[in-house]
Structure 1
Amino acid sequence: MQYVKETEHFRNILTENCIAKLECYLNHKQSIRKTSELMGGHSRSVSYRLQKIVELTGMDFENIAEMLSVRNRIVILRIL
């Protein structure tokens, strides 16, 4: 239950657009270039948005376990 509460907090911190960019980024091997192509934005804007996500959440893209947790939270958000 705690995990679901933390996932709700995750949704409250990030906009749907941020979550979509983050999901695309994670689904494409953390490629800013591929994310910008698929999301229709400039690579600098994707990079800026990802940096804002890091500032808001404190997540570490180099931490594999944390990225798995983030992926799981995104899946839960899509289900809820």
Structure 2
Amino acid sequence: MRDTERKLEYMPLQAVLEELQISKEWAYKLARKGRLKMYYMDVNKKGEPSGKVFLRVDQINQIFLEKQTDDVL
């Protein structure tokens, strides 16, 4: 299956923070540096983003696998 055909998985920001035990500030810092993209997938009644942030699971895995590799070297 090609990457374009693969369904992307997303996780709510709060679940990521709890799972990885990181702070919200650290997650936003990664987003500002362009390493992590944040997505607004829910909309309110007006059709505007609800403010609930989601993160892509593959990006999270890539960032933390790289970090673990760097720590070992």
TM-score (norm. length: structure 2): 0.41
Task: Answer with 1 or 2: which has the greater Rg.
Answer: 2
TM-score (norm. length: structure 1): 0.38
Structure number with the higher helix fraction is 1
